[in-house]
Amino acid sequence: MGDAAEQPQVSFQTHPDNYRNVALEIEGPVATLKLDIKEDGGLRPGYELKLNSYDLGVDIELHDAVQRLRFEHPEVTCVVITSALEGAFSAGANIFMLGSSTHGFKVNFCKYTNETRLYIEDATEHSGQTYVAALNGIASGGGYELPLACEEIYLVDDRRSAVALPEVPYLGVLPGTGGLTRVVDKRKVRRDLADVFCTLAEGVRGKRAVEWGLVDRVWPTSKFQDSLAERVKEIAGAGRPERKGVKLAKNEPTRDDEGALNYEYVTLRPSPVAPRTMELELRVPTASAVSDPDALDCTWWPLQAWRELDNAILHLRFNFPEVGLVLLKTKGEAKDVLAFDAQLEAHKDHWFVNEVRHNLKRVLKRLDLSAKSLFALIEQGSCFAGSMFELALAADRAYMYDEDDVQIALSPMNAGPLPMSNGLTRLQTRFLDQPEHIQRVLAKQEPWGPSDALEDGLVTLTADEFDWEDDVRLAIEERASLSPDALTGMEASLRFAGPETLETKIFGRLSAWQNWIFQRPNAVGPKGALTLYGQPESAEYDYRRT
């Protein structure tokens, strides 16, 4: 099976009023997310979402719900994910959707799904919104990987309902949204039992699922709802009724005749320098004082601008697959960025400001994990300072124009609130064996000019007015000419120096193993398991191991 036809443009905007496949219910401190996936509710025609199987459109709704719960419903302390279908929680990612998708779409779909799962775990850890999964039926493949992101998993004991990761025996691929990693790294399932489980197509049910550590509790059908309600009440407690949520407005861009996406603070446009290259510019307005964080809303720049940036990154991934190089630019006054950073630090104990900080962290992680080359261009009029300098630290290279009025600066936001997937800050990752150097640059109060920034290792290269245009152009043209496959592997290997974490394992294995398997004949060839799924023929494998 080769790549399918070009995928349609994807929008990442939705709202609970427009959900087709997920129902969000709020009752005091408890929120319930019910999977009620319509068979004809797919993002594009050509497949049916039977048995609560899902596609990217369902994941977009789920991600939106997780985000809105953090900002719009901070009173909620427990979130229950369950199914509106009796006897079926979820059959996982829709196989016919995967089979009809391009290779790039499949990989980006798995990556987006992984990020949403991690956002659920992040909400449990940092927002006090504990997610639990109530499996009132079979949970298979991605339908079990979603519960694995929850803090606790409850399964109905009806002699039929089971949890399963059947991708290996059924499809010749992997549980690509972190399933394998979470089974052994998060739930600490014994390796030999995990091996049996992941090759047992029918899965594991009842008390054995508890004994193996695959779920936390099972209850018989007659007691399931009452026992669930009792446990949820215990987790939720009294909630946080004193917190008043902040509504999130739409942030969909407009598109101009040149193909640029325009938001209020973000622009994504084709670069005139080289093909397959785009410029991603983030702008900062004049900062106003914040005396009462309760008065802030979704138009506050640290939230609106970074939500726009997040949306632009998703458009880059799904709607501009041919773009290989992104030029990161900023525009505005560094003092305004530093003023916003000071507000984020001064009011960090306020629930809303805390959520904004964590959202900023998640957006930067999404940038880190994007399979695009990133060059930061620090030019006249730039404002790479504090949280905005994280863009330069996230870049594979940072070029700085050598003029006295071009400067960079750091703030407390560079010192810990915005970790990468490896658990380290970008400064710690950059200077992995130089902790004393990190402390020295963080202690510096003054901004850096080009020569000092180069000497302290904060930028890659500097160039003056005579060399800037040619040096940058040549670097861009060279990068745009290299193999995208080799660059994806190189960048994913170089960006995450330091310790392994659950996150780096998940995305590393997705980038390497799942990416590779999705292109192998045993999965997607004419006789591959994914190709023949649902047909009477059996897969034919090349049994030679690499």
Distances (CA, A) of 392 to 154, 255, 400: 44, 26, 10
Determine the topology of domain 16-236 in CATH: 2-enoyl-CoA Hydratase; Chain A, domain 1 (3.90.226)
Q: Which residues contact 208 (CB under 8 A, 6 or more apart)?
A: none
- The pLDDT of residue 503 is 96
Q: What is the pLDDT of residues 256-285, one digit of tens each?
A: 998 999 999 999 999 999 999 999 999 999
Q: What is the pLDDT of residues 421-451, one digit of tens each?
A: 999 999 999 999 999 999 999 999 999 999 9
Q: What percent of the chain has pLDDT over 70?
A: 99
pLDDT-derived band of residue 7, with 50, 70 and 90 as boundaries?
low
Whole-angstrom Cα distance, residue 343 to residue 287? 10
The domain ranges of the chain are: 16-236, 254-494
Domain pair 16-236 / 254-494, same fold: yes
Angle at 425 between CA 420 and CA 430, to 5 degrees: 100
Tell me if 35 sits within 8 A of 92, measured CB to CB: no
- The pLDDT of residue 446 is 95
Tell me if 64 sits within 8 A of 71, measured CB to CB: no
- The pLDDT of residue 2 is 39
Flag whether pLDDT at 4 surpasses 50: no
Q: DSSP letter string over 125-183?
A: HHSS-EEEEEE-EEEETHHHHHHHTSSEEEEEESSS-EEE--HHHHHSS--TTTHHHII
List strands edge to edge, sheet with 277-283: 254-255, 261-262, 266-270, 277-283, 325-331, 373-378, 397-401, 461-463
- Please compute the mean of the pLDDT values over residues 303-307 and round it to a whole number: 98
Mean pLDDT of the chain, nearest integer: 96
- The pLDDT of residue 6 is 53
φ/ψ (deg, to 5) at 443: -80, -15
Coil, strand or helix at 328: strand
Distances (CA, A) of 442 to 360, 404, 406, 458, 487: 20, 21, 19, 12, 31
pTM over 0.75: yes
- The pLDDT of residue 5 is 42
Whole-angstrom Cα distance, residue 448 to residue 420? 24
Q: Which residue has the tokens 């509504």?
A: 247
Q: What is the pLDDT of residues 189-234, one digit of tens each?
A: 999 999 999 999 999 999 999 999 999 999 999 999 999 999 999 9
Distances (CA, A) of 541 to 130, 175, 181, 529: 43, 19, 25, 8
| Token output for 318 | 């799904």
Whole-angstrom Cα distance, residue 370 to residue 506? 14
pLDDT-derived band of residue 511, with 50, 70 and 90 as boundaries?
confident
Flag whether pLDDT at 162 surpasses 50: yes
* CATH number of this structure's domain 254-494: 3.90.226.10
Whole-angstrom Cα distance, residue 28 to residue 50? 32
* Helix (H), strand (E) at residue 504: helix 502-509
Flag whether pLDDT at 40 surpasses 70: yes
Q: What percent of the chain has pLDDT over 90?
A: 94
Q: What is the pLDDT of residues 130-152, one digit of tens each?
A: 999 999 999 999 999 999 999 99
φ/ψ (deg, to 5) at 358: -70, -30
Tell me if 409 sits within 8 A of 385, measured CB to CB: yes
Choose among 106, 542, 14: nearest CA to 321: 106
